[in-house]
C-alpha cells in the first residue's frame, strides 16, 4: 500500500466516526425530548399524547438544526 491509500482509509474511518456520532446525537436529542413529553403527558393525565408529539417534533427540529450547523461548520474549516 502506498501512503495515499493509507491516508484515504484513515479519512474514511474518521468520516465514519464523525457521522456515527452525529446519528447518536440526533437519537439522544429526539429521545430526550420525546421522553420529557411523555412524562408531562403522564403527569397531567392526558388521554392523548399531545406533549409527547409536540416535544418529539421539537426534538427532530433541534437535532436537524444541530446537524446542519455541524456540517456547515466542518465545511468551512
C-beta of residue 53 within 8 angstroms of C-beta of residue 37:
yes
Q: How many helices (H) and strands (E) does the chain have?
A: 2, 0
17-59 pLDDT tens trace: 888 999 999 999 999 999 999 999 999 998 899 999 999 999 9
CA 28 to CA 32: how far, in whole Å?
6
- The Cα–Cα gap between 29 and 38 comes to 14
The verdict on pTM exceeding 0.85 is no
| C-alpha span between 69 and 62 (Å, rounded) | 10
Amino acid at each position: 500500500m502506498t501512503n495515499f491509500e493509507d491516508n484515504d482509509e484513515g479519512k474514511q474511518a474518521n468520516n465514519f466516526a464523525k457521522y456515527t456520532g452525529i446519528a447518536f446525537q440526533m437519537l439522544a436529542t429526539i429521545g430526550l425530548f420525546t421522553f420529557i413529553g411523555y412524562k408531562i403527558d403522564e403527569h397531567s393525565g392526558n388521554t392523548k399524547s399531545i406533549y409527547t408529539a409536540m416535544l418529539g417534533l421539537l426534538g427532530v427540529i433541534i437535532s436537524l438544526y444541530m446537524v446542519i450547523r455541524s456540517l456547515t461548520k466542518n465545511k468551512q474549516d
